[in-house]
Amino acid sequence: MDKYKIKLIAMDLDGTLTQHREPLTPKNRAVLDKLSRKYKLIMVGAGQTSRIFNQMGKYPIDIIGNYGLQYAKYNKESGELDIIRNLSFPHDKEKIEANITYLRNKHGFTEFRGDSVEYHVSGCVTFPILGTKAIQAEKLAFDPDRSKRRAFYSEVCSLFEDYNVFVGGSSSFDMSPKPYNKYYALDLYCKENGIAHSEVAYIGDDYGEGGNDESVFKADFNYLKIDDYRTFENVVSPLLDD
């Protein structure tokens, strides 16, 4: 990476800037302030733009959400987001539920709390292995190293061929309608704003197999790995050094 060519810093939120679903820390907020003096910043998230914005304490930043299905720009005057793009795709619920029932029966996940599938307005789908109302402690203990889900990840991808599939959260698979993933979203943003991939640095923690940052990690963007959000300042320090 040639830091002198970098114009845009794109990043994930959970695991990169914060603990999962936790507020942005004052320390990392201060680091973002430093970065913003030198670079354009943008969030590239799996969740809705409003959720990301609120979790960040309404930090003044543009946000790509739902793998590119949403895009919102920060409005300096209102201090809020202006939604620029907000796409939605229909669900083939019969096919989705048949596939998930098949996977549950084959792999022994027939007991769950709440619903077997979670549908999102955007067209994204979540397969919550322990159910939509699973106890948090059970979810965290289920598959901490993701080995259980990665064992049949390729099978899920084959069954859900119309979706990009991710090993999401602590006990689920998340799916977005193709072609939407973080690479597609960031590439589209670059095309719309005249930015070359070589001028982008992406920071993310979920770069392993099935991770929602994997598509960016495997592409031609400059990629900075992070494995603990508390090390964010150290990870970006080369971009801050003169």
- DSSP string across 148-214: HHHTTHHHHHHHTTTEEEEEETTTEEEEEETT-SHHHHHHHHHHHHT--GGGEEEEES--STT-TTH
pLDDT score recorded for residue 2:
87
Give pLDDT tens digits along the chain (242 positions).
Answer: 888 899 999 999 999 999 988 999 999 999 999 999 999 999 999 999 999 999 999 999 999 999 999 999 999 999 999 999 999 999 999 999 999 999 999 999 999 999 999 999 999 999 999 999 999 999 999 999 999 999 999 999 999 999 999 998 899 999 999 999 999 999 999 999 999 999 999 999 999 999 999 999 999 999 999 999 999 999 999 999 87
Q: Is there a shared CATH topology between the 3-87+181-240 domain and the 93-177 domain?
A: no
Coil, strand or helix: which one is 30?
Answer: helix
Tokens of 118: 């979670």
Q: Are strands 40-44 and 62-65 parallel, antiparallel or unpaired?
A: parallel
Contacts 24+ apart (CB under 8 A), 194-198: 195/7, 195/8, 197/221, 198/2, 198/5, 198/222
Q: What's 93-177's CATH class?
A: alpha beta
Sorted by where each begins, the domain ranges of the chain are: 3-87+181-240, 93-177
Evaluate whether 168 touches 160 at the Cβ level (below 8 Å). Answer: no
pLDDT score recorded for residue 4:
87
Count other C-beta atoms under 10 Å from residue 43's C-beta: 23
CATH node for 3-87+181-240: 3.40.50.1000
- Over residues 210-240, the pLDDT tens digits come to 999 999 999 999 999 999 999 999 999 999 9
